């Protein structure tokens, strides 16, 4: 009897992570000789520790197929890192207990660099604890900071959303600038990498249209230089769009804006760069301005996604399963670019060690010399990633998204308390 497969979602979710889920589920079911049943853990690795495992056979097949166009994490996600197996073997013993109780031999973990570290730790259970488990990563992150892949599923759609709303809001501020608003600030996500801020530049039809200054997480913020540049742009064009990464830093490396010092699990929550920048601009120039923070909206906006991104999200899920069928383990599927125009790509794989806990920032040659824009090389890289549309079905004026019934497998193990520290 083949062992069962378990899929789980981790970290910040995206508009297309469920397309990866569907890719995994469909591929597992297409290989009955290799896999038993396909399950999904609730809330990522937490669901394994808590023995909360969804029985996908109790879901309507149409509900599962509709995951392809449903944003968010259909099975729940988590921000949770496994401890060191040497220092805290209890978590790993628990994982084995739950895997064994439900005859799980395959673990597909869908997340970013931190989640790939979790997948790697699960993969090492085979050697460390003698329980045979094949663990594979499935890439996902709107931040585009996973290494070794052309892009990460989730990024292209967030980039397309940002470029679109920047183009739209630019037309708005252009209309208003004579007697009212002259500066529009948009804050986008990106703790360490400015990829999403860079994507805003795609809104420009040609150089200087709309006039825009980008503040990257990678470029130390210099207030005087920025205000000077802003003044020059407004003198020339009458208005300016400013796009700021939430992770903008001062020259000393400290964050420009921190919403809350620290929350649970030692992640720093960012946000608030836009209103802070607005105050600074108002004080420094007196211009009337408006600001926007898109936050979750940019990564949940399934109503406007990149078709390439949806296809890649599905493809990496499928490739994770097919790699296992081909005999590979402890890997993450990656996207390899074959050409930019037209965009052609293929799927390969890298060992989990190659991507776990690694963050890829923008290469310096992608940032314009003045630090406020992108180069042609960056534009050539980004453009294919936002191509094509893939609208969800609408009913009564709103997108129809899928919602699982969420029937859990009966518990077979004793209670377990997840240590939250």
Residue closer to a second copy, measured from CB, 131 or 401: 401
Q: Which structure tokens are listed for 310?
A: 């949806």
Residue 415: CB atoms within 10 A of its CB come to 7
Which of 60, 88, 263, 380 is in the footprint of a second copy by CB under 8 A? 263
285 binds a second copy (CB under 8 A): no
* CA–CA separation, 42 and 7 (whole Å): 9
CA dist 151 and 59 (Å) reads 31
Which span sits near a second copy by CB under 8 A: 23-31, 94-102, 228-236, 266-274?
A: 266-274
Residue at token pair 């496994």: 82
What is the closest distance, in whole angstroms, from the C-beta atom of residue 30 to a second copy in the complex? 26
Q: Select from 3, 4, 7, 9 the one that contacts a second copy (CB under 8 A).
A: 9
Q: How far is CA 298 from the centre of its chain?
A: 10
Query: Using CB under 8 A, which residues numbered 340 to 399 contact a second copy?
Result: 383, 386-389, 391, 394, 396-399
User: Closest separation between CB of residue 191 and a second copy, Å?
Assistant: 14
Question: To the nearest whole angstrom, how small is the minimum distance from the Cβ of residue 237 to a second copy?
Answer: 13
Among 278, 320, 352, 356, binds a second copy (CB under 8 A): 278
43, 117, 127, 143: the catalytic one is 143
Interface with a second copy (CB under 8 A), residue from 229, 269, 285, 348: 269
Q: CB count, 10 Å around CB of 300?
A: 18
Largest Cα separation within the chain, whole Å, is: 73
Q: Interacting stretch for a second copy, rule CB under 8 A, among 25-33, 120-128, 160-168, 312-320?
A: 160-168
260 near a second copy (CB under 8 A): yes
Cα separation, 115 vs 121, in Å, equals 10
Q: DSSP 3-state assignment of 109?
A: strand
Residues 6+ apart with CB under 8 A from 344: 337, 338
Q: Quick check: is 143 catalytic?
A: yes
Instruction: Measure the CA–CA gap between 142 and 281, rounded to whole angstroms.
Output: 29
- With contacts defined by CB under 8 A, name the span among 116-124, 131-139, 177-185, 211-219 that binds a second copy: 177-185
Nearer to a second copy by Cβ, of 167 and 411: the residue is 167
Sign for the pseudo-dihedral over CA of 53, 57, 59, 63: positive
Task: Give start and end residues of each alpha helix (H) in 257-415.
Answer: 273-285, 296-300, 307-325, 376-382
Q: Which residues inside 194-233 make contact with a second copy, applying CB under 8 A? A: 202-203
The number of residues that bind a second copy (CB under 8 A) is: 79
Q: How far is the CB of 124 from a second copy (least distance, A)?
A: 23
> Interface with a second copy by CB under 8 A: which range of 29-37, 132-140, 270-278, 351-359?
270-278
Instruction: Please choose, out of 116-124, 225-233, 292-300, 353-361, the segment that lies near a second copy by the rule CB under 8 A.
Output: 292-300
Which parts of 310-329 interact with a second copy (CB under 8 A)? none
What minimum distance in Å lies between the beta carbon of 206 and a second copy? 11
Backbone phi and psi for residue 383, each to the nearest 5 degrees, phi listed first: -55, -45
Q: Which residues contact 141 (CB under 8 A, 6 or more apart)?
A: 11, 12, 14, 111, 112, 113, 152, 154, 155
> Looking at beta carbons only, is 31 or 379 nearer to a second copy?
379
Q: Is 29 in the site for a second copy (CB under 8 A)?
A: no
Kindly indicate which of the ranges 8-16, 33-41, 54-62, 102-110 contains the residues binding a second copy, using the contact rule CB under 8 A. Answer: 8-16
- Chain positions 45 to 84 lying near a second copy, rule: CB under 8 A, are 46, 70-74, 76-80
* Nearer residue to a second copy within complex by CB, 154 or 371: 154
Q: Does 337 bind a second copy (CB under 8 A)?
A: no
Task: Let me know if 397 is exposed, middle or buried by CB neighbors in 10 A (0-12, 13-18, 19+).
Answer: exposed
Comparing CB distances to a second copy, the nearer of 132 and 282 is 282
Residue 245 binding a second copy, by CB under 8 A: no
Q: Are 156 and 263 in contact (CB under 8 A)?
A: no
Q: Rounded to whole angstroms, how far apart are CA atoms 28 and 6?
A: 10
**C-alpha to C-alpha distance for 134 and 132, rounded to whole angstroms:** 7
Q: Report the catalytic residues.
A: 143
């Amino acid at each position: 009897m083949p062992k069962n497969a378990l899929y789980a979602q981790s970290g910040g979710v995206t508009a297309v992570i469920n397309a990866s889920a569907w890719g995994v589920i469909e591929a597992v079911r297409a290989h009955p000789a290799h896999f038993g049943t396909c399950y999904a853990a609730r809330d990522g690795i937490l669901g394994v520790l808590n023995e909360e495992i969804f029985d996908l056979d109790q879901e309507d097949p149409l509900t599962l197929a509709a995951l392809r166009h449903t944003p968010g994490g259909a099975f729940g996600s988590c921000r949770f890192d496994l401890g060191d197996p040497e220092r805290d073997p209890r978590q790993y013993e628990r994982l084995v207990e739950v895997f064994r109780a439900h005859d799980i031999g395959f673990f597909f973990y869908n997340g970013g660099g931190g989640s790939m570290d979790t997948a790697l730790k699960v993969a090492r259970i085979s050697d460390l604890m003698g329980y045979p488990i094949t663990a594979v990563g499935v890439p996902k992150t709107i931040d585009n900071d996973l290494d070794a892949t052309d892009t990460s599923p989730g990024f292209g759609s967030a980039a397309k959303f940002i470029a679109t709303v920047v183009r739209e809001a630019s037309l708005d501020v252009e209309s208003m600038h004579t007697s009212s608003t002259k500066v529009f600030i948009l804050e986008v996500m990106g703790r360490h990498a400015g990829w999403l801020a860079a994507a805003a530049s795609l809104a420009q039809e040609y150089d200087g249209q709309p006039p825009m200054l980008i503040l990257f997480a990678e470029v130390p913020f210099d207030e005087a230089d920025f205000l000077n540049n802003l003044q020059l742009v407004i003198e020339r064009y009458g208005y300016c769009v400013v796009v700021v990464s939430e992770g903008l830093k001062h020259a000393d490396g400290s964050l420009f804006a921190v919403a809350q010092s620290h929350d649970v699990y030692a992640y720093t929550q960012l946000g608030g760069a836009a209103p802070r920048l607005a105050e600074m601009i108002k004080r420094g120039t007196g211009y009337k301005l408006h600001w926007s923070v898109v936050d979750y909206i940019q990564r949940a906006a399934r109503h406007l996604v990149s078709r390439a991104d949806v296809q890649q999200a599905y493809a990496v899920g499928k490739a994770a399963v097919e790699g296992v069928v081909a005999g590979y383990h402890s890997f993450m599927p990656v996207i390899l670019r074959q050409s930019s125009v037209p965009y052609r790509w293929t799927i390969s794989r890298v060992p989990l060690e190659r991507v776990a806990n690694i963050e890829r920032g923008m290469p310096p040659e992608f940032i314009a010399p003045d630090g406020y824009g992108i180069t042609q090389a960056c534009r050539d890289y980004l453009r294919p990633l936002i191509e094509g549309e893939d609208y969800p079905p609408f009913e009564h004026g709103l997108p129809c998204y899928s919602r699982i019934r969420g029937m859990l497998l009966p518990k077979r193990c004793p209670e377990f308390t997840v240590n939250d520290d």
